[in-house]
Amino acid sequence: MTLPLNFSASERSSWRIDSLLLLAALTLISLGLTMVASASFSYAEHNFNNEFYFVKRHAIYIFIGLTVMAVTFFTPPSVWSQYSRLWMLLAILLLIIVLIPGIGREVNGSRRWLSLGGMTLQVSELAKVATVVFMASYFANSRENFGDHWRDWAKPLGVLMLPLFLLLMEPDFGSLVVLSCTFMAMLFLTGIKMWHYLGLVFAGSSVLFIFAEAAPYRMARLSSFLDPWSDQFNSGYQLTQSLIAFGRGEWFGVGLGQSVQKMLYLPEAHTDFVFAIFAEEFGFIGVLCLLGLYVLLVWRIFSLSKKAVAQEYWYGVFVLIGFGCLISGQTLINLGVNAGFLPTKGLTLPFVSYGGSSLMVTCAMVGMMLRIGHELHPDTQVVRRVRRGR
């Protein structure tokens, strides 16, 4: 059963906000601004002759992100569900547009960005959210009859193939992996037959391995990940510099702003490898605190999904699980890459890394999840109305 979520302001008793979820997100955003400032000074001064270049831009991104969070919070979830096909279509169109030479911006061999008014938009970030919203609406509407036949899961899988193919063309293999795993997590909740599901897992894993092996640069990353010190000044350079940062951090770190690796030694120090700089400056204890914030955030997300299951609000369940998997999956990959547990991937650390697209999209997800949390609160009129009708 889906809750009727369109109700007027006069029908609400008050706004209910999951304070722990919001606190974890805002704390991570604050840490992100601090670390972008610390990690980018040297690079900004060397390349732009302005040490505050990235700090100012990131502060603007935070303001925009918080505004987006407020907008998504005050937008009823039914709006996202109603127009889910439109969001999916727009995401696919943007993924196509970004591949057009002269329109899409190419950086380090990947064409992932659109330039808009002096700002860059990473289309894959929008595609992730649009895909989760679309799949959540589809799965929620067809859940009662889902899983009886292979055609039930073949339809959404066919839709997913198009954005995955476009992500592969950019290429953005990291986003492809995160989105694929998120889809599989959402599909598991539909009640799909287990042998169908295991077959899809095997087939998907095989395809991902083939794609990884087909590209020489991906295999080079894999070999350098297994033994970065064998080619520490070429393919293993980024990872070895990251590991040096971890080693210098020891237990309590060298202190905020005292990192040596950010002095043009570690590439992408304020974006993909900001966690390594954090580990160097705050040490093992600081890393544990940061991991604790992410654990708190993800725990609150899945706690809300448990409430949604209890109230049979399946659209909320799928959205929460999808967003929770997106955030936790991207976080795990980024941390694993920085620590040398995973091959290098161009994925930012949610809320912390420099990047307007990632920050705005994660803020949008938090706003939507907070709104779903409000709808699930026992004090809201809509929940009491449904309970009285049972």
Distance of CA 168 to the CA centre of its chain: 17
Q: In what order do the strands lie in the sheet with 119-122?
A: 104-107, 110-116, 119-122
Using the predicted structure, report yes or no on whether residue 388 has a pLDDT greater than 70: no
pLDDT tier at 204 (50, 70, 90 boundaries)?
A: confident
pLDDT tier at 117 (50, 70, 90 boundaries)?
A: low
Give the single-character DSSP code of 116.
E
What is the rounded average pLDDT of the residues 357-371?
A: 95
Q: Count how many Cα atoms sit within 13 Å of the Cα of residue 330 in the half-sphere of its side chain.
A: 26
Q: How far is CA 75 from CA 252, 355, 374, in A?
A: 43, 25, 12
Peptide bond preceding 228: is omega within 30 degrees of 0, i.e. cis? no
How confident is the model over 348-359, as pLDDT tens digits? 899 999 988 899
Q: Which two tokens stand for residue 107?
A: 């950086």
| Alpha carbons 357 and 345: distance in angstroms, whole number | 17
What is the rounded average pLDDT of the residues 45-52?
A: 87
CA dihedral over 334, 335, 336, 339, signed as positive or negative:
positive
Between 151 and 85, name the one with better pLDDT: 85
Contact 270, 43 (CB under 8 A): yes
Among candidate residues 343, 348, 347, the one with its CA nearest the CA of residue 209: 343
pLDDT tier at 9 (50, 70, 90 boundaries)?
A: very low
Among candidate residues 366, 311, 379, the one with its CA nearest the CA of residue 4: 311
Residue 390: per-residue pLDDT = 44
Residue 46: per-residue pLDDT = 84
Give the number of other Cβ atoms within 10 Å of residue 258's Cβ: 12
Residue 381: per-residue pLDDT = 45
How confident is the model over 205-220, as pLDDT tens digits? 888 777 766 666 666 6
How confident is the model over 119-146, as pLDDT tens digits? 778 888 999 999 999 999 999 888 777 6
Q: For residue 172, what are the contacts with CB-CB under 8 A and spacing of at least 6? A: 110, 112, 124, 346
Gap between the terminal Cα atoms of the chain:
11
- Angle, helices 123-142/173-188, rounded to nearest 10 degrees: 10
Contact 84, 77 (CB under 8 A): no
